[in-house]
Amino acid sequence: MTEGDRDWRSFALLLIDVQKDFWTGEMDVAFPDFEENVAGLLELCRREGIDVIHLRAMFSKDKSDWMVRYLFRESIPCVAGTAGARHFDCAAENGGEPVIVKQTFDGFLNPELPGMLDAAGKRYVLVAGLVTSVCVLLTAAAAAQRGYLVGLVEDCCADKPEAHLHTLDRYPFVFDPVTRGGIVGQYDNWTRQLAALPSR
């Protein structure tokens, strides 16, 4: 099957929180290819015609939109206007790719995301980004519970190494793990799964 024969209209990539505050020195050592992999994933999706949606955390300095537990910590990642809120260059949006801002771990709690996916007829979401065991997992779980099939692009995620591996091993009932290099090879399998879903 050639590139032009694949119809990815039911698919979308959710690229989650690829922002400076979520990156650590430990990740730098454990996931040295992360930025290259994310850039390659975006290139693949754009070439194949898989729609890309960027999710980014962003909080106000005045604490008005902070999750309540952080009020007791007196700090939160990704405060608007700070260097830590900046996205990685490899994760920049291209053209008309939407950017959805969130103030929660689960991106689906912003109604803009499910509204956008449903309006476009998406049934399968790929998730990638930071960090594997928190916002990536919780957004993937929310997608699965809302009736989407989910694939987690494991080499385009990062976390503490043990947490990353635990997430991949522990939640096969939430998502199919896949590498960016394996996405095209899963096309036939995933489209068969989609064909078996009840219509909405």
What is the pLDDT averaged over residues 35-60? 98
- DSSP H or E segment with residue 40: helix 34-48
Provide the whole-model pTM.
0.96
What is the pLDDT averaged over residues 12-33? 98
Q: What is the pLDDT of residues 56-109, one digit of tens each?
A: 999 999 999 999 999 999 899 999 999 999 999 999 999 899 999 999 999 999
> Does residue 42 lie in a domain region?
yes
> Does residue 117 lie in a domain region?
yes
> Does residue 166 lie in a domain region?
yes
Rounded CA-CA distance 159/125 in Å is 20
> Does residue 57 lie in a domain region?
yes
> Does residue 66 lie in a domain region?
yes
CB distance 53 to 164 below 8 Å: no
Instruction: Give the domain CATH number at 57.
Output: 3.40.50.850
> Does residue 16 lie in a domain region?
yes
User: Which pLDDT band holds residue 33 (cuts at 50, 70, 90)?
Assistant: very high
Rounded CA-CA distance 149/140 in Å is 9
Reduced to 3 states (helix: H, G, I; strand: E, B; else coil), residue 180 is helix
Buried b (16+ CB within 10 A) or exposed e, 171-190: beebbbbbebeebeebbeeb
CB distance 12 to 102 below 8 Å: no
Buried b (16+ CB within 10 A) or exposed e, 57-73: bbbeeeeeebeeeeeee
Would you say residue 4 has pLDDT above 70?
no
> Does residue 200 lie in a domain region?
no
Q: Which among 118, 111, 116, 157 is positioned nearest to 137, based on CA atoms?
A: 157
Q: Per the structure, how many domains does the chain have?
A: 1
Would you say residue 196 has pLDDT above 70?
yes
Q: What is the pLDDT of residues 109-126, one digit of tens each?
A: 999 999 999 999 999 999
Domain of residue 93 covers: 3-195
